[in-house]
Homo-oligomer: A and B are copies of this chain.
Amino acid sequence: MAEPGSVVELIRRKRDGGELTASEIDWLIEAYTRDDAPDYQMAAFLMAVVWRGLSDDETLALTLAMARSGAQLRLRERFGRVADKHSTGGVGDKMTLVIAPVVATCGLPVAKMAGRGLGHTGGTIDKLESIPGMRTELSAAEFVALVERHGMALAAQSGELAPADGKLYALRDVTATVESIPLIAASAMSKKLAVGSSDLLLDVKVGRGAFMRTEDDARKLAELMVHIGRDAGIRTTATLTAMEQPLGAAVGNALEVKEAAATLRGQGRADVMRLCLHESALLLRSAGLVGTLAEGEARARAVIESGAALEKLAEVVAAQGGDAAAIHDWKLLPQARVIRVTKAPRAGWVASWAADEVGAVAMALGAGRARKGDAIAPEVGLWLLAMAGERIEHGEPLAEIYARSEDEAERAERRLLAALTWSDAPVAASPLTLGEIV
């Protein structure tokens, strides 16, 4: 049993703006993981951290302590080069489904554990699970074996890795202590450190559809995560990308799989393709497979054009028990009972879709979950047919709404139209990428 007085002393020091040593943080996290330090003490500590922050040293110590709290896969010791990716999450963010097979096909193995989502749509894992038969709950051994055999694995975050983070995250969720840049960085990075890749790409989203609302906060978070990753021996690159508007056309689980496959077929939106090539190139350059971003983008484009990247996704889906044919034929994915085509109520240019509102519409349709364990409807969501900067005429199709009922579709349509800002004059689409920390 942890000396309760000692925990109080650590809480008090943080409350008063002081700093904890690495060994004090280790001790606290070990005690908490063993259930020796109770939730109520940790909750008070977390709120004191939200208040006072953590120094870079404290954040690093917390990340390492959580990474060491369970199994550590040490993948770079097994594979030499192996890539990992993390996105802070946004509306319509299906980039992992695109980038992982591209990078893997280029010869850089990808070992990605992902979370289930809370909010507008599911996470990467929920999207993958819309593919019939797809298994994402893999043991650590299966995960490693898939990377070995196929150069790629996409698995649900294993409870064997960084269990302290799992426990802490659940507590933060019910104590309003999620919103802290050092805690967010430590949580994300502890899982990445436990996997132990050689190269890591962090996609930090910024804007009204993202957790970080300002570029300043996003940059702080990105720099902190890069600092932690590099300190732990992972070549870490971060990119800041815009999340004022949804990313791509699809918002929903099966719909995003469809858009990811379309992108890999070279039939996706140009902006999604550009981001895919850019992020793939960042990883390839990080791992030393190419010397420049231009070279990396050319390699990525080549494996898309050859169809090899799409085949890689199908291969990995099959290896994880999924119906690989669904990658080629989206009719094999879950289909919505109601598809409503929303017509443009006027002519003009799309100035913007408010990402948070679009996310809320998808959530209301059943694409996301409000609480852990809620069921999600894989087949519902939105497909936006005109994006920012694009001209549309009165009465032309503006969006498709995939719903469980006419009623839900009608409510979604009203709300979706309210999320759209029109312009009478041409507007330029704002850039997707805002900068890198390399």
Contact = CB atoms under 8 A, between A and B. Distances in A.
Given A15-B50, A47-B15, A47-B51, A41 B175 contact: yes
A224 to B, nearest CB: 21
Interface string A5-38: 1011101100100000000000000000000001
A171 B47 contact: no
Interface residues of A, number: 27
Interface in A51-92: 51
A246 to B, nearest CB: 26
Given A47-B15, A51-B47, A40 B175 contact: yes
Contacts of A427: none
A4 B175 CA distance: 9
A39 interface: yes
A398 interface: no
A276 interface: no
A42 interface: yes
Interface string A153-170: 000000000000000000
- Residue of A11, A171, A174 with highest tally of chain B CB at under 10 A: A174
Contact of A175 (B8, B50, B174, B177): B8
A48 interface: yes
Nearest to A177: B44
Given A47-B51, A48-B47, A51-B47, A174 B40 contact: yes
Contacts of A4: 174
Q: How many copies does the complex hold?
A: 2
Nearest to A48: B47
Contacts of A38: 39-40
Nearest to A4: B174
A50 B44 CA distance: 10
A42 B47 CA distance: 11
A46 interface: yes
Contact of A8 (B50, B51, B174): B174
A4 B371 CA distance: 11
A41 B44 contact: no
A176 interface: yes
Interface in A272-329: none
Interface in A157-206: 171, 173-177
A6 to B, nearest CB: 11
A9 B50 CA distance: 16
A43 interface: yes
A5 B4 CA distance: 29
B171 A11 contact: no
Nearest to A52: B51
A374 B4 CA distance: 15
A213 to B, nearest CB: 14
Nearest to A371: B5
A11 B175 contact: yes
Contact of A44 (B5, B12, B43, B371): B43
A399 B270 CA distance: 88
A176 B39 contact: no
A289 B304 CA distance: 95
Given A40-B39, A47-B47, A15 B176 contact: yes
Nearest to A173: B8
29 contacts: A5-B371, A7-B174, A8-B174, A8-B175, A8-B176, A11-B47, A11-B175, A11-B176, A12-B176, A15-B47, A15-B176, A15-B177, A38-B39, A38-B40, A39-B43, A40-B43, A40-B171, A40-B174, A41-B43, A41-B174, A41-B175, A43-B44, A43-B47, A43-B175, A44-B44, A44-B175, A44-B176, A44-B177, A48-B51
